[in-house]
């Protein structure tokens, strides 16, 4: 297509309409429709292409694994809720959490058990954190930001045992092979981690916000404070809420399923990695298909948890009903993800990747390559809401510019990973933002705007560090 700049229009529609309406769903639908009509002019052909984009996203193997994981995990949360597991555990841990700092600290303390995959971590700790928030005068946005920053900024810095490592190393390997460089992909990835300035800065900022929270802020009634008001009608789900309020607290009905899920996830990650040809535990975690493993682990946990609840004389009809209800509570997040994926397909057919590469890739001075790639990655990552998509787009460009200008390859790789991290953490289109906002029942656009204030500070500091480091290195 001649006019590649048209590929930006769908993203501009989504962002502007979302800010105006404070709802992202209408903007996503309109953005996909407009993009489809640009690709295929005509009412019927454009509408049909819109549906085809959405169908294509649902036939993608990775996407359907993510959807399955979200729905099944939501169902597991529903089962743990009606069985009194979340209520019991929350009452127990609530005796230990005496302040806002205690709640935020608890989020960080769960990291060693939930670090494998961002969505996995948020889905595991979100329901418990949400139940504890009701007893504290603390902003939902502040809690959500702590959940997200302790997830996104940490996982991209870990060299093993996460869902990201294999993908990140493969991108580096493709760049090395394409340019015939005598480098080892994993070693380049490892050395690039200290140059992911943005993730490191946000990690420090998140810890600072946690420990600077008033240490004497004790439990008090939650009067709303800075929390975002729920937008649901007061009658919505009234019967379910009344039913859950009468549930008997049984903490083991949460502890057993979560330890089952954690244990199965770690074991299946190791087993799948060994089946892929890995020879060590760390290599196995890196090689494993983490998305499928998480789906398999939550499915097996559901089956075993159902049996466990039956032995504990939980009514079968209640357990099944709340499994479906819990899964349905995740449908908003699932629908948004499907539309985001469809929007990405629309933009690619319009030539978005080619537009970025051809327009912005030919005039960068050598010492500014990492800094400018980081800034461009932040902008594009915010538009598309995907760290993986941003990395896939900019890593080839990064290797090309670094080899052509003799810029630091390792720093350039770190800058590309940092730019994608910004988009995933900040964008209202990001799955982390969508999932956190859905679990904590926050308006998505308002929450994304709240995070942007802090993430923009981190991005500005990171940009300055890239420029300084570029001059030095």
> For residue 161, what pLDDT is reported?
53
> For residue 224, what pLDDT is reported?
39
For the ranges 23-32, 154-163, 363-372, the lowest mean pLDDT is seen at: 154-163
Alpha-carbon distance of 162 to 294, in angstroms, equals: 11
Give the mean pLDDT of 80-85.
82
Give the mean pLDDT of 43-60.
90
Q: Provide the 8-state DSSP code for 227.
A: P
| Integer CA distances (angstroms), 188 to 132, 159, 200, in order | 42, 11, 18
pLDDT cut 90: percent of the chain above it: 20
Alpha-carbon distance of 388 to 366, in angstroms, equals: 25
> For residue 336, what pLDDT is reported?
79
Alpha-carbon distance of 32 to 37, in angstroms, equals: 9
State yes or no: pLDDT of 220 exceeds 70.
no
Give the mean pLDDT of 379-395.
81
Please check whether residue 407 is in contact with residue 470, taking contact to mean a CB–CB distance below 8 angstroms: yes
Alpha-carbon distance of 129 to 401, in angstroms, equals: 44
> For residue 219, what pLDDT is reported?
42
Please check whether residue 462 is in contact with residue 426, taking contact to mean a CB–CB distance below 8 angstroms: no
- The partner residues of 218 in beta bridges, in order of sequence, read 99
Q: Is 237 left (phi over 0), alpha (psi -120 to 50) or beta?
A: left
399-408 pLDDT tens trace? 878 887 788 8
- Only one residue has tokens 């570029």, namely 470
pTM: 0.70
Q: What is the mean pLDDT of the chain?
A: 81
Q: Which long-range contacts (CB under 8 A, 24 or more apart) does 432-436 make?
A: 432/118, 432/119, 432/122, 432/148, 432/151, 432/152, 433/148, 433/385, 434/333, 434/336, 434/337, 434/340, 435/70, 435/119, 435/122, 435/123, 435/126, 435/333, 436/122, 436/126, 436/144, 436/147, 436/148
Please check whether residue 445 is in contact with residue 437, taking contact to mean a CB–CB distance below 8 angstroms: no
> For residue 139, what pLDDT is reported?
85
Alpha-carbon distance of 145 to 400, in angstroms, equals: 35
Please check whether residue 94 is in contact with residue 132, taking contact to mean a CB–CB distance below 8 angstroms: yes
> For residue 361, what pLDDT is reported?
52
Residues ≥6 apart with Cβ < 8 Å to 165 = 158, 159, 189, 285, 286
| Integer CA distances (angstroms), 19 to 16, 22, 254, in order | 5, 5, 38
| Integer CA distances (angstroms), 436 to 66, 97, 118, 126, 226, in order | 15, 21, 10, 7, 17
Backbone angles phi, psi at 215, to 5 degrees: -70, -20
Judged by DSSP in three states, 99 sits in: strand
More confident residue, 454 or 92: 454
Q: What is the 3-state secondary structure (H, E, C) of 242-279?
A: HHHHCCCCCCHHHHHHHHHHHHHHHHHHHHHHHHCCCC
> For residue 468, what pLDDT is reported?
93
State yes or no: pLDDT of 375 exceeds 50.
yes
Dihedral (C-alpha) 400, 401, 405, 406: value to the nearest 10 degrees? -70
Alpha-carbon distance of 59 to 357, in angstroms, equals: 28
176-214 pLDDT tens trace? 887 788 888 878 888 999 999 999 999 999 998 887 754
Alpha-carbon distance of 444 to 438, in angstroms, equals: 8
Alpha-carbon distance of 420 to 425, in angstroms, equals: 9
Q: Which two tokens stand for residue 360?
A: 């912005």
Residues ≥6 apart with Cβ < 8 Å to 280 = none
> For residue 266, what pLDDT is reported?
83
The size of the chain, in residues, is 473
pLDDT cut 70: percent of the chain above it: 87
């Amino acid at each position: 297509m001649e006019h590649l700049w048209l590929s930006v229009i769908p993203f501009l529609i989504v962002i502007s309409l979302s800010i105006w309406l404070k709802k992202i769903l209408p903007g996503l639908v309109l953005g996909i429709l407009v993009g489809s009509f640009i690709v295929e002019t005509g009412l019927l052909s454009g509408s049909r292409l819109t549906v085809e984009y959405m169908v294509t996203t649902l036939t993608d193997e990775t996407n359907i694994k993510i959807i399955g994981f979200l729905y099944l995990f939501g169902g597991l949360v529903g089962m743990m809720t009606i069985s009194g597991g979340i209520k019991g555990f929350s009452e127990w841990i609530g005796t230990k959490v005496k302040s806002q700092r205690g709640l935020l600290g608890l989020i960080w303390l769960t990291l060693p058990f939930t670090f494998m995959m961002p969505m996995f971590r948020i889905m595991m700790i979100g329901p418990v954190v949400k139940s504890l928030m009701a007893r504290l005068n603390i902003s939902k946005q502040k809690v959500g930001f702590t959940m997200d920053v302790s997830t996104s900024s940490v996982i991209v810095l870990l060299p093993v045992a996460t869902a990201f490592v294999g993908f990140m190393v493969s991108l580096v390997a493709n760049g090395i092979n394409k340019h015939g460089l005598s480098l080892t992909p994993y070693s380049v990835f490892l050395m690039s981690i200290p140059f992911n300035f943005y993730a490191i800065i946000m990690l420090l900022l998140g810890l600072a916000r946690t420990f600077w929270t008033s240490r004497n802020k004790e439990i008090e009634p939650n009067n709303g404070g800075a929390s975002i008001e729920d937008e649901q009608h007061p009658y919505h789900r009234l019967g379910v809420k009344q039913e859950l309020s009468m549930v008997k607290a049984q903490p083991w009905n949460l502890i057993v399923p979560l330890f089952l899920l954690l244990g199965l996830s770690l074991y299946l990650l190791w087993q799948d990695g060994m089946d892929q040809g890995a020879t060590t535990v760390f290599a196995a975690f890196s090689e494993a298909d983490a998305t499928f493993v998480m789906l398999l682990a939550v499915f097996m946990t559901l089956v075993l948890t159902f049996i466990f609840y039956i032995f504990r004389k939980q009514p079968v009809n209640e357990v099944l009903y709340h499994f479906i209800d819990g899964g349905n509570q995740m449908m908003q997040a699932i629908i948004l993800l499907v539309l985001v994926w469809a929007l990405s397909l629309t933009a690619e057919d319009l030539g978005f990747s080619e537009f970025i590469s051809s327009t912005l890739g030919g005039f960068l001075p050598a010492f500014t390559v990492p800094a400018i790639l980081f800034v461009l990655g932040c902008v594009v990552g915010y538009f598309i809401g995907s760290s993986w998509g941003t990395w896939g787009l900019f890593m080839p460009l990064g290797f090309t510019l670094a080899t052509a200008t003799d810029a630091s390859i390792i720093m350039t790789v770190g800058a590309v990973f940092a730019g994608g991290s910004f988009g995933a953490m900040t964008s209202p289109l990001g799955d982390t933002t969508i999932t956190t906002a859905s679990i904590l029942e926050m308006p998505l656009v308002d929450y994304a705007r709240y995070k942007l204030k802090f993430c923009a500070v981190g991005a500005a500091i990171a940009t300055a560090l890239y420029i300084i480091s570029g001059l030095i290195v």
